[in-house]
Amino acid sequence: MPLTEQQLEEFDQAGYLFFPNAFSAGETQVLRQAAVDVYQMQREEVWRESSGVARTAFAAHTYNDAFRRLGAHPRLINPVMQLLDGPVYMHQYKVNAKAAFDGEVWQWHQDYGTWARDDLMPEPRAMNIAVFLDDVTAANGPLIFLPGSHKQGVVAAGHDLETTSYPLWTLDRDTVTELYQQGGCVAPTGDAGSMIVFSSLLVHASPPNISPMDRTIVYLSLCHVDNHIRQFKRPEWVAHRDFTPIKPLADDTLAELID
């Protein structure tokens, strides 16, 4: 179902849209098992926290069938094609673990800030769409957004090579405080199977997870095909170089895998 005028207006104002329970319990279980499988793999695409637990599995759509299907799922691809007004390719694919007790921080950043500086993506005609594979609560390291911050363009950032295993262009405290004073701060929470689409300019972060509950979220970063990256400095499995338009699969593509 296409996004309504009201949803488009909400996205424009806030920089994100939340879709509770977009995937069934059965579909979500298929994806949760897929995450367990990929985190067990010893591959260069699977990055770990300092404790050794998985932090992120990059490009999981290229080596796991359930994640391949999710990467072309119409419930993700169609709204993003509508928002970006045309065909999209997969710029990045991450299965982020944020494991119970050990999941570490993601510092304040804009995704497009990294894509512009590191990959020379020409414009912010790209966005994230995320699916919760666990219930996300206030306790287990939810995503935190600064609503409206996507209207600021690319904000000043420094290259953080130290605080986590993943290099990121991050914002300083004064900038985050100023943006917070303009639009507040929210942490959308909900059941496993819920979905969030957010602008690649929206400032976001997530705190460490010291709860006993895992918090796994899959992120597709989709880019308009005309806006593909121009610089290939990062590994192919972090910033993809296949700019083929994604053709959405059938809506039951994941349901087919339910036992």
SS (H, E, C) 80-93: HHHHHCCCEEEEEE
Distance, CA of 105 to CA of 107 (rounded, Å): 6
| CB of 194 or CB of 199, closer to Mn ion | 199
Distance, CA of 151 to CA of 67 (rounded, Å): 32
| CB of 73 or CB of 204, closer to ligand SIN | 204
Min separation Cβ 188 and ligand SIN, Å: 12
- Chain residues that interact with ligand SIN, rule: CB under 6 A: 96, 98, 106, 143, 204, 206, 217, 219
Min separation Cβ 171 and ligand SIN, Å: 12
Min separation Cβ 211 and ligand SIN, Å: 14
Shortest Cβ contact with Mn ion: which residue? 111
Q: Which residues, at least 6 apart from 16, have a Cβ–Cβ distance to it below 8 Å? A: 145, 147, 188, 196, 197, 198, 199, 202
Q: Which long-range contacts (CB under 8 A, 24 or more apart) does 170-173 make?
A: 170/107, 170/108, 170/109, 171/107, 171/108, 171/109, 171/110, 171/203
Min separation Cβ 92 and ligand SIN, Å: 9
| CB of 27 or CB of 111, closer to Mn ion | 111
- Chain residues that interact with Mn ion, rule: CB under 5 A: 111
Residue 91 interface partner, choices ligand SIN, Mn ion, none, CB cut-off 5-8 Å depending on type: none
| CB of 77 or CB of 220, closer to ligand SIN | 220
The helix or strand, by DSSP H or E, that contains position 251, with its residue range, turns out to be none
Residue 54 interface partner, choices Mn ion, ligand SIN, none, CB cut-off 5-8 Å depending on type: none
Residue 129 interface partner, choices ligand SIN, Mn ion, none, CB cut-off 5-8 Å depending on type: none
Min separation Cβ 123 and ligand SIN, Å: 19
| CB of 100 or CB of 257, closer to ligand SIN | 100
Q: How far is CA 24 from the centre of its chain?
A: 20
Q: In what order do the strands lie in the sheet with 168-170?
A: 144-145, 204-206, 106-109, 168-170, 158-160
Strands 158-160 and 88-96: unpaired
Residue 18 interface partner, choices Mn ion, ligand SIN, none, CB cut-off 5-8 Å depending on type: none
Task: Tell me the three state secondary structure of residue 252.
Answer: coil
Shortest Cβ contact with ligand SIN: which residue? 206
| CB of 77 or CB of 201, closer to Mn ion | 201
Min separation Cβ 142 and Mn ion, Å: 13
Distance, CA of 191 to CA of 171 (rounded, Å): 30
Residue 206 interface partner, choices Mn ion, ligand SIN, none, CB cut-off 5-8 Å depending on type: ligand SIN
Among candidate residues 206, 216, 189, the one with its CA nearest the CA of residue 107: 206
